[in-house]
Amino acid sequence: MKNTICKIFAHFLYRGMKVLYKKDERVKKEIDQIKNGTCFVLKFDLPEKASFIAIEKTEKGLKKRKEIRKGDIVITFKSLDLAFKVITGQKGLCQSYAEHDFMLDGNIYDTMGFTRIVELVEAHLFSKKRCSKILREVPKRSICMFSTY
């Protein structure tokens, strides 16, 4: 069940990034700074066949990929429970990093840009009360939460 919920929330995270790329200058600026062809992967568990979402930066914005390639930036959560907490907004990505809940394979500089994008998307997807618990600073929304969904 948690695996399915992680996949659903990851889909909304991806869709939120795509919507905000068009509607929020902060997200557009962060994404445009990422080199074309860079792919960020969120894996929800350690096994080889774990669920994942792969988001690639292209010249037109973002697109989903169906496979993980060598050289991708991969964030692998150590367990499905830890991924579930981050994906559902019970814990922030920065807090999860500080508590060593996941492993990072790839360029940490590019990953920091991805983290800023995720925080902006979370601010649009979750309530302000939830965001104040998981984000250091709650960014102002540029569009309403329902438009992001």
For the segment 109-121, what is each residue's pLDDT rounded down to a tens digit? Answer: 888 889 889 888 8
Q: pLDDT by residue (tens digit) across 51-93?
A: 899 999 999 889 999 998 888 999 999 999 999 998 888 888 8
* Average pLDDT value over all residues in the chain: 87
Q: What's the farthest any 2 CA atoms get from each other in the chain?
A: 39
C-beta separation of 113 from 33 below 8 A: yes
Give 133 or 30, the one with higher predicted confidence: 30
- What HEC string does the chain produce? CHHHHHHHHHHHHHHHHHHHHHHCHHHHHHHHCCCCCCEEEEECCCCCCCCEEEEEEECCEEEEECCCCCCCEEEEECCHHHHHHHHCCCCCHHHHHHCCCEEEECCHHHHHHHHHHHHHHHHHHCCHHHHHHHCCCCCCCCCCHHHHC
Which pTM was predicted? Answer: 0.82
CA distance 134 to 119: 9
Token pair for 21: 């790329």
Tell me how far apart the alpha carbons of residues 14 and 16 are, in angstroms, rounded to a whole number: 5
What letter represents residue 85's amino acid?
K
